[in-house]
Amino acid sequence: MPTKTFQSLLIVILIFAVAGLGLYYLVGKDRLKRENNNPPVVEVPSNGENGGSDDGQDNNGDDTPEPFIVATDLNIPWEVAYIEEEGFLITERPGNLVRLNMDGNKRFIPIEEVNPFGEGGLMGLALHPNFSDNNYIYLYLTTESGIRVVNKVERYRYDLNSNELSDKTLIIGDIPGSRNHDGGRIAFGPDGFLYITTGDAGNSSLSQDRNSLAGKILRLRDDGSVPEDNPFGSPVWAYGLRNSQGLAWDGQERLWATDHGRSGISSGFDELNLIERGKNYGWPEIQGDEEREGMERPVIHSGATTTWAPAGLGYLGGRLFFAGLRGSALYSVAVGEDGGISDFKTHYEDEFGRLRAVLVADGDLYISTSNRDGRGSENDGDDKMIRITLEAIFE
């Protein structure tokens, strides 16, 4: 009898074991299926600013929201634009325009004539202010003109249903290009005009030459024509910049721009500038706190021994946020009603690596990494687009 009891018990154990294996298989198969479908939001651990929460408190067990990964496996993303209820458009520097749907799926459009030479490639992206009516998008890209490397801005009509581009139109061309310092950020301002940042193309003297498009912030109508109130009767709105890669307007509709300072052994003096019509921002004649008549000092700079390598810029909650490439951080400053700044902060330093794009959409910040650009350390899933809520920043 004991033998029969033992045999019965063994059969019951085997039945439960087989049922458990079957359940594990079904759950695991469903989980793998969901992971392969690229879920749009994946939680990422974060310890907040400078290794702690943004209010200086320890993060042990608090309820501060954490950043979320929206997309992975991007190839050097440079700019991100949000299309309401549709998802995102992302430029990848090697030459792809990526449509990221709300369900996390990606669709790709190769852009013709892109030359991903050095720091160049497919860079800036802007939606027309009336995109919902005309479906116009604008792209800033590096290409070739004979034996020269140049940058240009093109306009396309984007079909949301077919994911196709048509009606290519040149907005502005023959912007000097080079292996380094190609600028590339574009954005429509509150005035409805298109603003474009350009680099000095490795020739610093061009920044002071108002007849050159290099080292400038340009301002154009949506069709590429020059507005009558531009200061020099040309596309040039401001000059004396080295390699600006960030544009944003604050709550008073003032224009701000980031700019890269010197590089090489003597790096540092990266800048945040308040941009005004016709002003000269000094490169290469002055840097840091230096002064010269007719030239503007930056509102804030990184100093002689710190390098931000600032890129994308956005305004949210009374603060300007800008991404750091070499700095591998998100930086922010509070902006006063008079344009003065205060309360400089460093967020998420060394948590995500090199950061490039900054987008403000639906009350949140979106940032992208740039760890596959040859100057960073590539991590699993790079490059990424990450969403950060206001609570994660300010609480």
Q: How many CB atoms lie within 10 A of CB 285?
A: 15
In the prediction, which pLDDT does 373 show? Answer: 96
Convert the pLDDT of each residue in 189-214 to its tens digit: 999 999 999 999 999 999 999 999 99
pTM for the structure as a whole = 0.85
Q: How large is the average pLDDT for residues 82-94?
A: 97
Q: How far apart are CA 215 and CA 236, in angstroms?
A: 10
Q: In this model, does residue 26 exceed pLDDT 80? A: no
Which pLDDT score, from 0 to 100, does residue 39 have? 34
**Residue 98, pLDDT above cutoff 60:** yes
Asked if 366 and 385 touch (Cβ cutoff 8 Å), the reply is yes
Cβ-based burial of 164 (10 A; exposed 0-12, middle 13-18, buried ≥19): exposed
Q: Mean pLDDT of all residues in the chain? A: 88
For 102-151, what is each residue's pLDDT tens digit?
999 999 999 999 999 999 999 999 999 999 999 999 999 999 999 999 99
> Can you tell me the mean pLDDT for 76-82?
98
Cis peptide before 383 (omega within 30 of 0): yes
CA distance 88 to 368: 12
Place of tokens 């996390």: 104
Specify whether the CB–CB gap between 388 and 342 falls below 8 A.
no
Share of the chain above pLDDT 70, in %: 83
User: What would the mean pLDDT of 266-276 be, rounded to a whole number?
Assistant: 96
Higher pLDDT among residues 97 and 48, named by residue: 97
| Residue 321 to residues 25, 234, 336, 379, Cα–Cα distance (Å) | 46, 30, 14, 24
**289-324 pLDDT, tens per residue?**
999 999 999 999 999 999 999 999 999 999 999 999
What is the total residue count of the chain?
395
Separation between Cα atoms, residue 92 and residue 116, nearest integer Å: 10
Tell me the per-residue pLDDT of 317-357, one tens digit each, with 9 for 90 and over.
999 999 999 999 999 999 999 999 999 999 999 999 999 99
Instruction: Output the 3-class SS for the chain.
Output: CHHHHHHHHHHHHHHHHHHHHHHHHHHHHHHHHHHHCCCCCEECCCCCHHHCCCCCCCCCCCCCCCCEEEECCCCCEEEEEEECCCEEEEEECCCEEEEEECCCCEEEEECCCCCCCCCCCEEEEEECCCHHHHCEEEEEEEEEECCEEEEEEEEEEEECCCCEEEEEEEEEEEEECCCCCCCCCEEECCCCCEEEECECCCCHHHHHCCCCCCCEEEEECCCCCCCCCCCCCCCEEEECCCECCEEEECCCCCEEEEECCCCCCCCCCCEEEEECCCCECCCCCCCCCCCCCCCCCCCEECCCCCCCCEEEEEEECCEEEEEECCCCEEEEEEECCCCCEEEEEEECCCCCCCEEEEEEECCEEEEEECCCCCCCCCCCCCCCEEEECHHHHHC
Compute how many other C-beta atoms are within 10 angstroms of the C-beta atom of residue 127. 19
For position 391, what pLDDT does the model report? 85
pLDDT band at 24 (very low <50, low <70, confident <90, very high): very low
Q: Average of pLDDT values for 206-223?
A: 98
For residue 62, name the pLDDT band (cuts at 50, 70, 90).
low
